[in-house]
Amino acid sequence: MIPLSWYVLVSAALFCIGLFGVLARRNAVAILMAVELMLNAVNVNLVAFWRYGEPQAMAGQVFALIVFTVAAAEAAVGLALFIAIYRSRDTVAVEEIDLMKG
Amino acid sequence: MREFFFDLTWLIPVFPLLAFAFIVLWANPNRKLSTWAAWAGIGLSWLLGWTIFFLSWGDIHHLTPPEANHPVPLWALPAGSGMLEVGFQVDTLTALMLFMVPFVCLMIFIYSKGYMGYGTEQVDPHYSRFFAYISLFACGMLGLVVSDSLLTLFIFWEIMGLCSYLLIGFWFEKRYPDPERITPKEAGLKAFLTTRVGDVIMLLGILLLFSQVGSLSFVDLFSHDTLHMLAEKTVTLPVLGTMPVATLAALLLFGGAMGKSAQFPLHVWLPDAMEGPTPVSALIHAATMVSAGVYLVARSFPLFAAVHGGTQLAVVAFIGAFTALFASTIAVAQNDIKRGLAYSTISQLGYMIAALGVGAYIAAVFHLITHAFFKALLFLGSGSVIHGVEHGHHEVAHGHDDHGEEAFDANDMMNMGGLWSKMPRTAWTFLIGGGALAGIVPLAGFWSKDEILAHAWHGFQHGHDLGTFWPFFVWLLLTLAALLTAFYTARQVCLTFAGRPRTEAAGHAHESPPSMTWPLMILAFFAATLGLFGTPWANQFHHLIGEAFEATPFDPFVAGLSTALAVGGAAVGWLVYGRKPLAAGDVDPVKRWLGPVHTVLENKYYVDELYRAVFIRPVIWLAHVFFKFDNRWVIDPIVNAVGRAGVSLAKGMGWFDLVVVDGLVNLAGRAGATVSSLSDVVDLRFVDRIVDGVGDLVRAGGRFLRPIQTGRVQNYLLVAVLFTAITLLGLYVMLPVL
Amino acid sequence: MTYAVFILFTLMALCGGVLVVTQRNLVRAATALVLSLFGVAGLYVLLEAGFLAAVQVLVYIGAIAILIIFAIMLTRRMVQGDESGLNRQWGWALVSAVVMFALFCYVVVKAWPLALGAVSAPAVPADSTEALGLALLDWEQYVLPFEIASVLLLSAMVGAVVIAREKHDS
Amino acid sequence: MNGFDISNLFLSIGQVWTEWLLQLGLSAGWVSFVNKLAGAVLVTAFAVGTVVFTIVGERKLIGRIQDRLGPNRVGPFGLLQTVPDVLKLLTKEIITPANADKVLYSIAPMLAVASVILIWGVVPFANGVMGVDLDIGALYFVAVSSFGTLAILLAGWSSNNKYALVSAFRVVAQLISYEVPLVLSLLVPVLLAGTMSMNGIVQAQAQGWFVILAPISMLIFFISSTAEVGRSPFDLLEADSEIVAGYNIEYSGMRFAMFFLGEWIHAFTICGLTATLFFGGWRGPFVDQVPALGVIYFLVKMFAIYFVHIWIRTTMPRLRIDHLLDFNWKFLVPLSLVNLIVMSLAARLTGMPRADAALGELLPYWGVLLGVNVVLAAVTLYVLGVVGSRIRRRQEAAREPEPAVTGP
């Protein structure tokens, strides 16, 4: 079997890729996609620890499922927001959405 | 039948909650329906509450602890490792609160209809919303009273916090010409944030208890074994040293009570809460919010008493007594009728807290109940007065248009006077409420206050857990406060009602509508008679709250002294303000006598100003400083500075050229003119430059600081991530754990 | 064999991820997201969480990816700009991501051995999907989070409709 | 080695094949790998090979229904017509539009075919004869078919053609919408069988085909799967009179053929699934004694359902997009939700019968489920009638007040 650490490393890599995307992308939708990557990285961790920890208890899978749900809700609301912002400001570039600028 | 009603206790907070939901979701556009929904909600709660109270009165021995503390679980939901248990319980304290809270709330609700101008031209645009909010507020308080664990208590506690924010800031669009004066919006925010400070401390206490006991239900927490364990176990803190867990937990819980019950360091929100509509003030100050703090301390009193002679009781006693005196001195110098009452509330809460501190549990709860009635009465009465004066003002303003809408403060007692004949019902009831507050025999306030003083005196005479100093301290401060209370109450009554009207508005005031005066009269009845249940000779109250607590013996010295002080204070008040009432434009005689001291009192000992200087300014300053990070805003100013230096240098060279070289050349030819031109140059090149330089500096500073808020989420996030990374890195490097 | 499959799926997940955050063209980025998420689904299969793998494909590729592509196309003018897909602070972002990754690696390597072979884990019960379903609906276990999640989803749906709906009045 | 058992033909062939490989000297790991590969190739070959015949069959059938002959030139009765067609498509130039997103443009057709063929991995031909008996087979089917949606969206977008994009939007709206009732009706067999494994579902139908126990679910599944495939009356995705040729307008040659292929395979794949889920799959007389018969039963059922599909395709007019979505969201989705709840309650009520239950025990089970379905159908029809007449009345009321034209 593949050692647990490999999965965790893959997950860490995926997480950091997503992190980079969240910090560096200009487009809001792209940021949302990067967030999805991060959530998936978390899920990989959850499932991996479930598998190597205690497969009889379903905690890992349950949490992964809840992350799915949250991700779906987040995507729906996020995209709706972007479309609303796009309608009013004609852009989804995050740098240009700076109503809070001092 | 008893069980049947007891099992329905959980419905008490649900009725107002349903009313809230109904108004918000369906009845919002319909004022009449909203009013009736709110009344129905609180009315049902009142009926059920009194049913339970009188059932337990008749059946008292079934309710005395510990049997009474059987919580009734409603739901148990799985939450992580444990179960989230939601339930309710009825014991004597709860039953007492159920006697007071829904009834006073009902009176306030009925009063609100008239106050918010139902059916008149001046009806509030958010009339329905107001009823929704106060329903939710009542739900919060009732839920807090019936809850069986600290967790549910905290939830309802926070609901009340939210409602206080919403209601204090109810007239959120209101602005005042004076920018220094606090607006309702800011007052709401202030109340919310100040109580939040206490709430955080309280949450810490709850977490501490949970970590130690593993449960938050009162039965588990206050069982003999748990209390013993908590008192035995000690904890060491960095600054405070070693203390029993029970002491620490009690102190932390007391932090929450300090916030909600407006005790000394956290009292600042309460006077400003007067910006809300008057029924809200009554609700907050009498029936619900501030009582919640005292209720919390009373509810967790076993915890406070777990360690004999511990610091926690001393702290409680000190804070309470100090607050009582402190606030009553301020109240003497307030001209705003509601603010005066607000400080009186703080002072009276101090009484209760101090009473709990010296162990006068029964007296404290008794005072909580009586105070709720007469303070609600006073607030509603003041609201009625303000309402009348405002209407008088409107009438005057409409009468002749040239009067204009200049700033007119209907709350200012200096604008009143002579309302006795205009508003007789309000005046009578206000007088009864004032008498109860001042402690005049045989009104309610006398008995409860006297019991507190007697208990403290008894502790001083016969020894106490805390030794003899603290009881004496409490007794002394509270007695002084009693004198001041009588004085400022008399002052308020005289300024408001006696003499002749000092303004045209007061002259045109009318009695308020019956929906406002009826609650006043009912409350006045209770304010007058309620004390008779707690007389030292036939202490029904003591009987009700439980024989477990030691009764306070009647002490003729204390009773006589406090009666003398009350009558004396009132008499002095009458002598100063009542015998020869102030005319329009007169200066307050006390102000003349006290001079600068009065100014300090009028400004509430400058506590607000102190907080602004110590807490608010540095926080804002820190927030500004922390964002120098972004490279653009660091590098840009550097580049600019270099550029500006270059320009300055060039200008300096030019100056050198102009002044030195030219000056040397021209020196010979124009010796006579040189002196005058030199002085001119000095003026232009030095003085002007310095002035300009200061200006530039300020502008550059402004430009430097302004864009620290980029408004970009990613930017903030980057800083956060970088900071996290650095912190983690530091942790790994420094901690040899990993 | 298992290693080959693992490496294949890992490469899919990570390369897809890199493409997601670097592709300027957003539709391509979304396609790369599908690839990456499919790789993650493959990892689930390797971890014997078949149900999750299927749900991953269903939810992410069948729903979220398509939703994202829809959103991209509805805000299309943005997609075809000539400017870079990254903002000015991307250098710092890269640094912090790399630092975080290094930290993670450090911790992981310290905590669990990287060595191949001699790895054992308890066997997955045969009816793990059924166990998952029972755990979700078990009063003693996760029924509350499950219900809350469904309420969240419902409210998110309603909220999304309300936010994104064009206002026809006035 | 056991004797070659003709009654369990396919398993026997598999055994012989495996032993032969082992005798060749391959290690067990490689044998399993080769076996899996061979299985995959076989299943794919079956799917693709069947298309060759179904195309001809369908065209001839359509010809019959439309009162013409259909293809009849190549081979006996025109049976080989597909061969020159395929050759023609293969030899055509593959055109890629200049502004297309080339990578996505070339990925899309492959994805379209792959998504359909992947479904065959879990379809049981006979008892145990299937690609892989996943314990989440039904979910796998739903998951994999979502790739098809993605493929269409990508094809429409990457072509950089506005008609293609509009078509892709339409298709995706349609596919996503109809996926909801599809999945909800799919859940009923899963519920009744107590497993998501396809083979398990077929085995559970020993107690009665689900078409008898849950006819409403079958109808919903049938309707929404027709929509998923995009055939008449749901063939909006290539309504050529409205949006030229749909999302694949820019495609030519083999790439176009792949979309075509994918669609065609999808058509009878769905029929195979319907047969598996509701018509007892490989179940039939004597199948317990001679498992190999299952393949025949399965194919017969599949093609019978396919025949109904073609029949509908040739006789029903096309729907308008708003009607189509209305029909889904306002009728199919609520109905399938109610159906799911009612069926789960009914199944809970009766309990699952034992595997060896006698007919006397089974009859109440059937009776309750069928009765529930009939009641539900009656209620649905009644509600439809009431709502329909109300709508009609409103429409008439709206039409009525035309002002009378007064003469000059």
DSSP labels for B553-605? PP-HHHHHHHHHHHHHHHHHHIIIIISSPPPTTPPPHHHHHHTHHHHHHHTGG
Among candidate residues D181, D344, D197, the one with its CA nearest the CA of residue D277:
D197
Q: Which helix (H) or strand (E) holds B84?
A: strand B82-88
**CA B196 – CA B198 distance, rounded (Å):** 5
Give me the DSSP letters along B421-482. TTSHHHHHHHHHHHHHHHT-TTSHHHHHHHHHHHHHHHHHHH--TTTTHHHHHHHHHHHHHH
For the purposes of burial, counting CB atoms within 10 Å of the CB of B610, is it exposed (0-12), middle (13-18) or buried (19 or more)?
exposed
Q: Which helix (H) or strand (E) holds D383?
A: helix D359-399
Q: What backbone phi and psi angles, to 5 degrees, belong to B385?
A: -60, -50
Q: Quick: pLDDT tens for A12-62.
A: 999 999 999 988 888 888 888 999 999 999 999 999 988 888 888 888 888
Distance in angstroms (rounded) separating the CA atoms of residues B270 and B277: 14
As a whole number of angstroms, the distance between CA B248 and CA B311 comes to 9
Identify all chain A residues contacting B708, using CB atoms and an 8 Å cutoff. Answer: 102
Tally of residues, chain D: 408
Q: How far is C126 from chain B (nearest CA, A)?
A: 26
End-to-end CA distance of chain B: 64
Cis preceding-peptide flag for D233 (omega within 30 of 0): yes
pLDDT of the residue at A43: 93
DSSP E strands: which ranges in B158-263?
234-237, 241-244
Nearest to A51 among C36, C114, C121 (CB): C121
| Residue B126: partners with Cβ closer than 8 Å, 6 or more residues away | B170
How confident is the model over D262-285, as a mean pLDDT?
89
pLDDT in tens, D236-254: 666 555 556 678 778 888 8
Residues in chain C whose Cβ is within 8 Å of chain D: 1, 25, 27-28, 31, 34, 50-51, 54-55, 57-58, 61-63, 65-66, 69-70, 73, 127, 129
Rounded to an integer, what distance in angstroms lies between the CA atom of residue A20 and that of residue A32?
Answer: 12
User: Does residue A66 fall inside a structural domain?
Assistant: yes
Residues of C in Cβ contact (< 8 Å) with B722: 92, 95-96
Beta carbon pairs, C and D, within 8 Å: 68
Q: Which residues of C touch B (CB under 8 A)?
A: 87, 89, 92-93, 95-96, 99-100, 103, 106-107, 110, 139-144
C4 contact residues in A (CB cutoff 8 A): none
Q: Give a three-class secondary structure readout of B476-491.
A: HHHHHHHHHHHHHHHH
Q: What's the pLDDT at A34?
A: 92
E strand or H helix that includes residue B87: strand B82-88
Confirm whether A101 is domain-assigned: no
Q: Hey, is B359 helix, strand or coil? A: coil
Distance CA B273, CA B260 (A): 12
The angle subtended at Cα D15 by Cα D12 and Cα D19, nearest 5°, is 145
A37/C161 Cβ within 8 A: no
DSSP state of B499: S
Could B718 and C89 be called an inter-chain contact, meaning their C-beta atoms sit closer than 8 Å? yes
CATH code of residue A10: 1.10.287.3510
Residues in chain B closer than 8 A to A99 (CB atoms): 711
Quote the number of domains for chain A. 1
Phi-psi sector, D25: left (phi>0), alpha (psi -120 to 50), beta: left
Q: Mean pLDDT of all residues in chain D? A: 84
Confidence at residue A42, expressed as pLDDT on a 0 to 100 scale: 93
Q: Is residue A68 a part of any domain in this protein?
A: yes
Distance CA C11, CA B455 (A): 79
pLDDT of residue A11: 93
Report residue B425 as tokens.
Answer: 């019902």
Examine residue A102 and state whether it is found in any structural domain, yes or no: no
User: What is the dihedral angle through the alpha carbons of B685, B691, B692, B696, rounded to the nearest 10 degrees?
Assistant: 140
Question: Cα separation of D159 and D136, whole Å?
Answer: 36
**DSSP class of residue B501?**
-
Three-state secondary structure of D202-259: HHHHHHCCHHHHCHHHHHHHHHHHHHHHCCCCCHHHHCHHHHCCHHHCCCCHHHHHHH
> What residues in chain C have per-residue pLDDT under 70?
76-84, 116-119, 167-170
C-alpha A63/C-alpha A45 separation (Å) is 11
Q: Which residues of B touch A98 (CB under 8 A)?
A: 710-712
Task: Point out which residues pair with A28 in neighbouring strands.
Answer: none
Q: Is residue A86 part of a domain?
A: yes
- The pTM is what? 0.61
- Angle ∠(B386,B388,B390) on CA atoms, nearest 5: 65
DSSP 8-class letter at B217: B
What is the helix (H) or strand (E) element at residue B73, kind and residue range? strand B72-79
Inter-chain residue contact A24 with C86, CB threshold 8 Å: yes
Q: Identity (one letter) of the amino acid at C95? A: V
- Rounded distance between C-alpha atoms, residue B173 and residue B175, angstroms: 6
Q: What is the mean pLDDT of residues A56-77?
A: 88
Structure tokens at B658: 């102009």
Q: Which residue has the higher pLDDT, A98 or B310?
A: B310
The CA distance from B718 to B715, in Å, is 5
State the best of B83, B710, B714 to mutate against chain C, taking most chain C CBs within 10 Å.
B714
Cβ pair A22:B706 closer than 8 A? no
Let me know: does B32 contact B79? Beta carbons within 8 Å. no
Q: Give the mean pLDDT of D282-301.
A: 85
**Cβ neighbours of B587 (radius 10 Å):** 9
Whether A7 sits inside 8 A of C121 (CB atoms) is no
Query: Contact, D154 vs D108, CB < 8 A?
Result: yes
In a domain, A55, yes or no: yes
Domain range spanning residue A71? 4-96
pLDDT attached to residue D275: 92
Q: How far apart are CA D15 and CA D26, in angstroms?
A: 15
Do A102 and B710 count as a contact with CB atoms less than 8 A apart? Answer: yes
Which residues of chain B have a CB within 8 Å of the CB of C144? 77-79
**Could you tell me the two tokens for C69?**
């592509």
Return d(Cα C165, Cα C153) in angstroms, integer: 18
Q: Mean pLDDT, consecutive 10-residue segments, chain B of 738 residues?
A: 76 89 83 88 90 73 48 63 72 83 89 80 81 90 87 88 87 78 81 83 87 80 83 74 83 87 81 83 80 87 80 85 86 82 88 85 85 88 84 71 56 75 84 85 80 81 73 84 86 81 77 83 85 71 64 74 83 77 69 71 72 69 55 59 76 76 70 67 73 74 62 72 78 60
Assign D171 to helix, strand or coil: helix
User: Do residues D151 and D115 make contact, with C-beta atoms less than 8 angstroms apart?
Assistant: yes
Contact D150 C129 (CB under 8 A): no
Q: Which residue has the tokens 């997950």?
A: A11
Quote the pLDDT of residue B702. 63
- Residue A27 three-state SS: strand
Q: How far apart are the C-alpha atoms of B256 and B204, rounded to whole Å? A: 10
Say yes or no to pLDDT of D150 above 80: yes
Overall average pLDDT of the D37-52 stretch = 86
Q: Is residue A11 part of a domain?
A: yes
Per the CB < 8 Å rule, is B721 touching A19?
Answer: yes
Partners of D176 on chain C (C-beta within 8 Å) are 63, 66
DSSP B181: S
Substitution target from A16, A31, A100 for chain B, most B beta carbons within 10 A: A100
The answer to whether residues B99 and B49 touch, using CB atoms and an 8 Å cutoff, is yes
Neighbors of chain C by Cβ distance (3+ pairs < 8 Å): A, B, D
Query: How much is the ipTM here?
Result: 0.65
Q: Residue B358: its pLDDT value, please? A: 83
CA C47 – CA C53 distance, rounded (Å) = 9
Residue A56: HSE in the Cβ half-sphere, 13 Å Cα cutoff: 1
Minimum distance, in Å, between the CA of residue D183 and any CA atom of chain C: 11
Dihedral pair phi/psi, residue B222, rounded to 5°: -100, 20
pLDDT category at D356 given cuts 50, 70, 90 is confident
Neighbours of B476 (CB within 10 A): 15
Domains of chain C, CATH where assigned: 1-82 (1.20.120.1200)
Nearest to C60 by CA among A24, A22, D237, A44: A44
For residue B637, the model assigns a pLDDT of: 64
Q: Do D104 and C50 touch (CB under 8 A)?
A: no
* Residue B721 three-state SS: helix
Q: Choose, out of B710, B713, B717, B728, the residue to mutate when testing the contact with A (most A CBs < 10 Å).
A: B713
Q: What pLDDT is recorded for position B407? A: 58
Q: What percent of chain D has pLDDT over 90?
A: 18
Nearest CA-CA distance, residue C82 and chain A, Å: 13
**Cross-chain residue pair D147–C61, CB shorter than 8 Å:** yes
Q: How many residues does chain A have?
A: 102
